[in-house]
Structure 1
Amino acid sequence: MRLNAIVFIISILMLTACKKGNSGIQPTLGDITQSVYASGVVKADGQYIVYPTTSGVLRKVKVTVGDAIVLGQPLFELDNDKAQLSTESAQLAYQLSNENSRYIQDKIAEMQLTVQNAKDKLRLDESIYNRNVKVKDQGGVSEVDFEKVELAYKSSKLAYETAQNRLNQLRIQLKNEQSKNRINVRLSEKSESDFTVKSAFSGQLFDVLVKEGALVSPQTPLAVIGKANSFLLELEVDENDMVQVTVGQKVLVTMDSYKGQVFEAEVDKIYPIMDERSRTFKIEARFIKTPAKLYPNLTAEANIIIHTKKNTITIPKNYLVDKEYVLVNGDEKRKVKIGLSDYQNVEITEGLKAGETIYLKE
């Protein structure tokens, strides 16, 4: 009997404790903010990775991490022995072409004399022909003699036109020869310059990713460069949330490097294409007040503020039943209409007043 009585008493105490633990709460009147989560990294403004434009062995690193870099500054030198030989070969071909050009120029000078002689002869034969046309009309020259004069005139005209065409061909040949070899020299010099990797703009060298002696290709990252003391946030937003994000929205940022601190930023740029692998969109945000120290690639988490409501009724999310009911009077279901929500609370727009008590579903 005593054992049964003890069990009964313990059961009563447990029921009492459960009821006490579910005594209910009243809605809170305050502000609620709806936000979109995003994660990403800190980037230097204009940050980019340097790649070579050709393959080769990295002969020399000409800069040191932390250096200030100016536009066009040489950063790396690749082994360019073959390119130098190619340039020397092109220059030799250019010199030979110049000699060939002088030969063509001499031919042009000779052809100019030939053209002038042909022109003079044409004028003479044309004058004789015109005179014989008049005499022939008056019957002063035989048909045979007139045909000889006419044939001489036509031959002189053809000889002049042929010489003129030949002169034009020589001039075109000379021009093409010179242009072709100048282009070959420039291409060789450009190919040689490709073995010196230069900076695309002014900034700071944040990292060197290779060592001297390494074999590199156009797919090999060599260095990271960006603007000094100018940083932004590069964030990824899930495709399901992207339609709510617009330029100018406020962003609350936390970083592992600054535990317990929240920094404000603003959405500055939205890239209008989705990454098919991660199903996310990339956005950029700029700090309203930049932290004292930042470094590229620091990790960051952010909440992009979509809406904020003040003086609204809110309840904890776990007190919402089936996304549209609350429990009143212990276990009575009442339908409510919800509005904004954040990670912990949800706004109640209809169906519940501030002074009422709601209960947690057991």
Structure 2
Amino acid sequence: MRTIQLLAVLFLLASCKGKWEKTQPSVGKITESVYASGIIKARHQYQVFSRVNGLIVNIPVTEGDTVRKGDPIVIIRNETAKLNTENAAIAADYNSVKANADKLNELRVNIDLARIKLNNDSLTQTRQRRLWEQRIGSQQQLEQAELAYKNSLTAYDVAVFKYNDLQKQLNFAAKQSGKNLEISHTQNDDYTVRSDIDGKVYSIVPKNGEMVTTQSPIAVIGDAGNYYLELQADEYDIARIRLGQKVYVTLDSYRGQVFEAVVEKIYPMMNEKSRSFTVDAHFTAAPPVVYPNLTLEANIEIQTKEHALTIPRSYLLAEDEVMLENKERKKVVTGVKDYQQVEIVSGLTASDVIIKPAP
């Protein structure tokens, strides 16, 4: 009985021994890359918002239209704003310096009259003083002449002050009314939502007759035919990503095809929720037709070696050991890694035979 059990154990060991997978290191090309997911976006793509709340009365564009900077996208009802603009225009016209020229002319005439009287009283005072020096006339006459001159001087100064003060008031009122008119025009213009760029209308959210608010996007506009990739890379990989690195892109819209791109921008702020960084890239070999918000998967090439000694990653033990054919564990130094292969920098030769550890 014991002999039978011993033979069964030996048979099982022999069977297990025969299941060890073997391989030898091979020399070939290996590329290390990091994974990123993302979407395609139109260059300068942005969401259009209204500065005012209101009811849409006209949408002069449709999705897919090409627009120029300043073209109207959505027009919102603005009767109140128009009335405010008209009132501001009336006030600006009423308060203009030109409209109040008669008031200034009246005060200018008062200045001229005061100047004439001042000159006359000045001459009278001088004449009366000379007469008094010759003992002609009375001191009372001299004092009356001096008092009249002082009163005329005061009246002249008051006339000049009133003129200058009115001119300042009119200039201030005219400027203030003009600014109010500009503000009213600006507020009136806010009821026409315009494109900020030359581009293409990719999406329009509301319809005619619907209400819009300042919190909800109205449309999406971006460059026509100029697209880029917005990628999300894990914080674990971001330190290895550099500008100019190649990116290999796959899209569900083009299954089985790979397109090339290049990293053009790395955003330094991490998204705390997703623990990822945004990386922008542009196509060097683009698909024939793309649309904004198409999802994609990408591999960013970190480094490539043409003649590397590699083994399958599944043959590694604890990331720095392999098992030789004689079951001996041996330390190795690894280098470039991809999803299937790993470079062996030292510790093995192409003639060594290694076995795959049992699961």
TM over 0.5: yes
Q: CA deviation at 1:361?
A: 2.3
CA shift in 2, pair 1:207/1:134, >3 Å: same
Higher mean C-alpha displacement, 214-223 vs 116-125: 116-125
Q: Deviations over 1:268-299 (max 9, x none)?
A: 12223222322222221111121111111111
CA contact (8 A) 2:47 2:218 kept: yes
Q: Given the alignment, which residue of 322, 346, 350 partners 1:350? A: 346
Q: Given the alignment, which residue of 52, 62, 65 partners 1:64? A: 62
Q: CA deviation at 1:318?
A: 2.3
Aligned equivalents of 2:192, 2:340: Cα separation in 1? 56
Q: CA deviation at 1:166?
A: 1.0
Q: Does 1:219 align with 2:210?
A: no
Residue identity matched to 1:344: Q
Aligned equivalents of 2:319, 2:93: Cα separation in 1? 85
Q: Deviations over 1:156-197 (max 9, x none)?
A: 333222211111111111122222222223322322221111
Q: 2:269 aligns to what SS in structure 1?
A: strand
- Structure 1 residue ranges without an equivalent (≥5): none
CA shift in 2, pair 1:317/1:150, >3 Å: farther
CA contact (8 A) 2:128 2:141 kept: no
Q: CA deviation at 1:326?
A: 1.6
Q: 1:283 aligns to what SS in structure 2?
A: strand
Aligned to 1:39: 37
Residue identity matched to 1:85: L
Q: 1:72 aligns to what SS in structure 2?
A: coil
- Percent identity between matched residues is 39
Aligned to 2:178: 182
TM-score with structure 2 setting the length: 0.88
Between Structure 1 and Structure 2, how many residues are aligned? 358
CA contact (8 A) 1:101 1:177 kept: no
Aligned to 2:230: 234
Aligned to 2:78: 80
Aligned to 2:163: 167
Aligned equivalents of 2:133, 2:351: Cα separation in 1? 130
Q: Does 1:319 align with 2:307?
A: no
Aligned equivalents of 1:326, 1:15: Cα separation in 2? 21
Higher mean C-alpha displacement, 289-298 vs 85-94: 85-94
Q: Does 1:261 align with 2:257?
A: yes
Aligned to 1:24: 22
Residue identity matched to 1:172: K
Aligned equivalents of 2:83, 2:58: Cα separation in 1? 20
User: RMSD value over aligned CA atoms?
Assistant: 2.8
CA contact (8 A) 1:101 1:174 kept: no
Q: CA deviation at 1:92?
A: 4.2
Q: 1:86 aligns to what SS in structure 2?
A: helix
CA shift in 2, pair 1:110/1:96, >3 Å: closer
Q: Deviations over 1:45-79 (max 9, x none)?
A: 22222111111122222212222212211121212
CA contact (8 A) 1:76 1:198 kept: yes
Residue identity matched to 1:47: Q
- Structure 2 residue ranges without an equivalent (≥5): none
CA shift in 2, pair 1:96/1:117, >3 Å: closer
Aligned to 1:305: 301
Aligned equivalents of 1:309, 1:137: Cα separation in 2? 118
Aligned equivalents of 1:229, 1:355: Cα separation in 2? 54
Q: CA deviation at 1:97?
A: 4.2
Residue identity matched to 1:174: L
Q: CA deviation at 1:360?
A: 2.1
Q: CA deviation at 1:128?
A: 5.2
Matches within 5 A, 1:262-281: 262-281=258-277
Q: Does 1:111 align with 2:112?
A: no
Aligned equivalents of 2:158, 2:208: Cα separation in 1? 64
Aligned equivalents of 1:37, 1:128: Cα separation in 2? 103
